[in-house]
């Protein structure tokens, strides 16, 4: 369990540093001297933007999927709780002859 937590922390730190370095490079090279049609810096900036968009898409898709799954599981548990918690005592039924 501890190794999974360490791996998750390392992955989060790598992801955060990756995004910070992407943005730092984009800010530093925004107003560069463009060499024309085959400019390597422009190509790298396009890759950076594409990667950021795809990472954002994956993160949003994952968040939405987890929210839908959580809502579905919550509804299922709530329905089962309502069905199986209805006893004669909880319904306050008097059993007399």
- Pick out the chain residues at pLDDT < 70: 1, 97
Instruction: Look up the pTM and report it.
Output: 0.56
Residue 37 pLDDT = 82
Domain boundaries along the sequence of the chain: 2-84
How far apart (Å, rounded) are the C-alpha atoms in residues 90 and 85? Answer: 8
List the alpha helices (DSSP H) in the chain. 2-28, 40-84
| 3-state SS class at 91 | coil
Q: Tell me: the pLDDT tens digits for 20-47?
A: 888 888 888 888 888 888 888 888 888 8
Residue 32: DSSP 8-state: -
């Amino acid at each position: 369990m501890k190794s999974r937590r360490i791996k998750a922390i390392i992955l989060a730190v790598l992801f955060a540093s990756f995004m910070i370095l992407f943005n730092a490079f984009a800010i530093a090279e925004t107003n560069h001297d463009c060499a024309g049609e085959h400019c390597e810096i422009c190509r790298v900036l396009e890759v950076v933007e594409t990667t950021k968009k795809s990472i954002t898409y994956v993160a949003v898709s994952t968040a939405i999927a987890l929210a839908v799954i959580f809502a579905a599981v919550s509804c299922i548990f709530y329905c089962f709780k309502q069905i199986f918690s209805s006893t004669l005592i909880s319904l306050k039924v008097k059993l007399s002859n």
